[in-house]
Amino acid sequence: MAKLTPLGERVLVRRVQEAETVRGGIIIPDTAKEKPQEGVVVAVGTGKYDKGQHVPMTVKEGDRILFGKYSGSDIKIDGEEFLILKEEEIFGILTGSAKPVEREKATAGRR
């Protein structure tokens, strides 16, 4: 598997997959779903330089974050989809009683 290390103040994120069914058992097709605004940080850059001084990144690998609906750029690495965005596009780090991260398998939910 290829490894991507973001440059500067960029962050590589894997989106958190939401459930495929809603209350009542209705299955929502992929085309009708909105992309989740939560993700898990996979890799971070080194940070930025401001007025000649290095400013380290606030987020770290493994952090669960919340970001804007139209933030960043979607990329694909070895068939897996990721999002790459600048740290300033991240709204915050989720902690506490957040639901566990679920990774959707490529064949799950398809019949």
Please count the structural domains in the chain.
Answer: 1
Query: Counting Cβ atoms within 10 Å, is residue 32 exposed (0-12), middle (13-18) or buried (19+)?
Result: exposed
Classify residue 96: in a domain, yes or no. no
Classify residue 23: in a domain, yes or no. no
Q: How confident is the model at residue 111, as a pLDDT?
A: 42
Q: Which two tokens stand for residue 9?
A: 């103040």
Classify residue 94: in a domain, yes or no. no
CATH of the domain at 72: 2.30.33.40
| Three-state DSSP class for residue 2 | coil
Q: What is the mean pLDDT of residues 89-110?
A: 63
Domain with 81 in it: 30-86
Angle at 65 between CA 54 and CA 6, to 5 degrees: 45
Q: Which residue has the higher pLDDT, 18 or 8?
A: 8
Classify residue 76: in a domain, yes or no. yes
Instruction: Read off the amino acid at residue 68.
Output: G
* Phi, psi of 93, rounded to the nearest 5 degrees: -105, 125
pLDDT in tens, 14-60: 998 765 555 566 666 655 556 668 999 999 999 988 888 998 999 99
- Asked if pLDDT for residue 99 goes beyond 60, the answer is no
Angstrom distance (rounded) from CA 38 to CA 47: 22
**Residues 86/59, Cβ–Cβ less than 8 Å:** no
Classify residue 71: in a domain, yes or no. yes
Q: How confident is the model at residue 19, as a pLDDT?
A: 54
Residues 6+ apart with CB under 8 A from 72: 13, 83, 84, 85, 86, 89
Classify residue 19: in a domain, yes or no. no
Classify residue 98: in a domain, yes or no. no
Q: How confident is the model at residue 16, as a pLDDT?
A: 86
